[in-house]
Chains A and B, each alone.
Chain A
């Protein structure tokens, strides 16, 4: 019974924890401008994150060691450093976006300017990273993040033409006023948002934090293969509700407040209250995950003691990194930079960093010395290679598309 509860809890956390500020904003922007014509990218991205999260989770469960640790050992310090720089850059950028996102979500209901909230949010994130137990943090915030299911309820309540939405998704039928270049830019951004590198590092390090072993592979797979796709459904619901309510009005999403408007139309005040709770919880959870991922990456690369399964005193350097990253986030946000703009950059740069993140995982998961009988099978390798090609294409296209479309505005 306890085991089933653990599986259930893990799945709920995975659903609630799947959506972060990047998914929220990018899906709403895409829904409002391009309808569901890029819904298939979410599906492709979710399958991709499932493939690599399962691989890195399996590596952690079988070897008892997290991804970065093995990447450095297996591919050498130079490739490890390249991997570290690419993923750290994106993770820190995402962390800044998440902290700013929580502040924006709180500002929605308090009317206090988000800059006044930023230091408090960052301090709270740091306190949780320092003091809270890993499982409490993950489960509580992940389950509260489930409040975002309100977007699916809202979409249902709005009573859209489901056939039309399915047609837009199946035929990639974009509105005529938007160019194919902009469409391609958002395809890359959505792909980057769905396959954010930190999710894999957090997942595998979390496995070590929770002492996964080979017997936990089933639970891990259930979390990934049920939780992540259901989380992806939330992303589609956010895009769908924006497509149904905002697109016909000519509203193009530029801030977090606009993301919640379809819920207000469909479900009124109660719906908005639940949506805002979902925003705060999901983004806060992602802030904790990205903050921890930054600490995990550096500590694992340099071979320091890391994690929340040991006392802070025993992993002092790991906790110093967490504190420094938090201070950096406050410093960046206090310059007045728009957190939504940081989010848009973070999802595009995620796409750029993807090959450097996922290639080493594929290599390690194929090494029988580490994996023994749990080494990648044919299906995992075939999917891994297909996705490596996809992430390479996305990475190469990201910067030219970003420049040519002026971040999707042109």
Chain B
């Protein structure tokens, strides 16, 4: 009887240990997976912000609607990065990071949309201000990407 009880206890302990370990692993995997998705979103957004900056700086070097097309594509890409991230559920521990990142992505989306309007309207008087704002925002997005990279 005692031996049976010991076996049951051992089995239950092992199961509990296994469940705990698996749970930990799952949580770790989930966190790592989310961090990777978030890093990709931050990286893509930084890349697009810098693309828009380059278009605004090189405004005299781009012909026809080339600049407008590049900025429109950038806006779409930032929107896609933001949407993809919104679809993934962050682990509880990473909630503050999620909030900071989504705020940054929202800011980037708004800024690129503003740039798209300015480029579409050929309102070059707004370019310098847009470039300054991108130069303030882009390093923050880049820092976030590095933080997520660990």
Q: Is B61 engaged at the interface, CB distance under 8 Å to the other chain? A: yes
B interface residues, how many (CB within 8 angstroms): 29
| Max chain A Cβ within 10 angstroms of own Cβ: one of B36, B50, B65, B73 | B73
Check B54–A249 contact: CB distance below 8 A: yes
In whole angstroms, how far apart are the Cα atoms of A250 and B134 in the complex? Answer: 13
Contact B77 A257 (CB under 8 A): no
Interface positions of A from 57 to 73, Cβ below 8 Å from B: none
Decide if A108 touches B55 in the complex (CB within 8 Å). no
Please name all residues of chain A whose beta carbon is closer than 8 Å to the beta carbon of B58 when the two chains form the complex. 261, 264-265
Interface string of B34-65 (1 = CB under 8 A from A): 00100010011011101101110010111111
**Residue of chain B at shortest CB distance from A177:** B149
Q: Which of A20-28, A129-137, A267-275 contacts B (4 or more CB under 8 A)?
A: A267-275
Chain B residues, Cβ within 8 Å of A267: 61
Q: Is A173 an interface residue (CB 8 A)?
A: no
Q: How many Å lie between the Cα of A272 and that of B70 in the bound state?
A: 13
Complexed CA–CA distance, A365 and B42 (Å): 51
Given known contacts A250-B142, A410-B40, is B47 in contact with A257 (CB within 8 Å)?
no
CB <8 Å contact, A108 and B65? yes
Cross-interface CB contact of A109 among B47, B50, B66, cutoff 8 Å: B66
Specify which of A110, A177, A249, A410 lies most central, judged by the most chain B CB atoms within 10 Å of its CB.
A249
Q: In the complex, are the beta carbons of B64 and A261 less than 8 A apart? A: no
Q: Classify the secondary structure of B's interface with A.
A: helix
Q: Does B27 contact A (CB under 8 A)?
A: no
Residue in B61, B65, B73, B138 whose beta carbon sits within 8 Å of that of A255 in the complex:
B73
Q: Is the CB of A252 within 8 A of B77?
A: no
Known pairs A268-B60, A268-B61; A251 contacts B66 (CB<8 A): no
B14 at the binding interface (Cβ < 8 Å): no
A261 & B51 in contact (Cβ 8 Å cutoff): yes
With contact pairs A252-B43, A257-B73, A258-B70 given, residues A109 and B51 touching in the complex (Cβ less than 8 Å) = no
Taking the nearest CB of chain A, how far is it from the CB of B65, in angstroms?
3
Known: A251-B47, A254-B44, A257-B70. A264 touches B77 (CB 8 A): no
Scan residues 236-265 of chain A and give those whose CB is less than 8 A from a CB of chain B.
245, 249-252, 254-255, 257-258, 260-261, 264-265
Q: A108-B69, A261-B70, A410-B36 are in contact. Are A254 and B77 (CB under 8 A)?
A: yes
Q: Is the CB of A251 within 8 A of B54?
A: yes
Inside 8 A of A260's CB, which chain B residues have their CB? 66
Choose one: A177, A257, A273; the contact of B69 (CB below 8 Å): A257
Q: Do B54 and A109 touch (CB < 8 A)?
A: no
B54/A265 in contact, CB under 8 A: yes
With the chains together, A264 CA to B59 CA distance in Å?
A: 9
Taking the complex as formed, is B112 at the interface, i.e. its CB lies under 8 A from any CB of chain A?
Answer: no
- CB contacts (< 8 Å) of A265 on chain B: these are 54, 58, 61
Q: How far does the alpha carbon of A269 sit from the alpha carbon of B58 in the complex, in Å? A: 10
Residue A276 at the B interface, CB < 8 A? Answer: yes
Does B108 lie at the interface of the complex (its beta carbon under 8 Å from any beta carbon of A)? Answer: no
Is the pair B51, A251 in contact by a Cβ cutoff of 8 Å?
yes
* Closest Cβ–Cβ distance, residue A172 to chain B (whole Å): 22
Which of A384-410 touch B at CB < 8 Å?
Answer: 409-410
Task: Give A126 to B65 CA distance when docked, in angstroms.
Answer: 28
Contact partners of A111 in chain B: CB under 8 A? 64-65, 68-69, 72
A169 at the interface (CB under 8 A from B): no
Chain A proximity of B134: nearest CB distance (Å): 11
Closest to A111 in B: B65
Flag whether A328 is at the interface (Cβ < 8 A): no
Contact B61 A264 (CB under 8 A): yes
CA distance A255 to B44 in the complex (A): 12
Contact of B66 among A177, A249, A272, A410 (CB under 8 A): A272
A410 to B44, alpha carbons, bound, how many Å?
12
Smallest CB gap from A410: residue in B:
B36
Is the Cβ of B50 less than 8 Å from the Cβ of A264? no
Q: What is the CA–CA distance of A199 and B69 in the complex, to the nearest angstrom?
A: 31
Which residues from A are CB-within-8-Å of B44?
Answer: 252, 254
Binding site for A on B (CB under 8 A): 36, 40, 43-44, 46-48, 50-51, 53-55, 58, 60-66, 68-70, 72-73, 77, 138, 142, 149
A-B contact pairs, 19 of them (CB 8 A): A108-B65, A110-B64, A111-B64, A111-B72, A249-B53, A250-B46, A251-B47, A251-B50, A252-B43, A254-B47, A254-B48, A254-B73, A258-B51, A260-B66, A264-B58, A265-B58, A269-B62, A272-B61, A272-B63
Known: A257-B66, A276-B63. 4 other contacts (CB 8 A): A245-B54, A250-B142, A272-B63, A410-B36
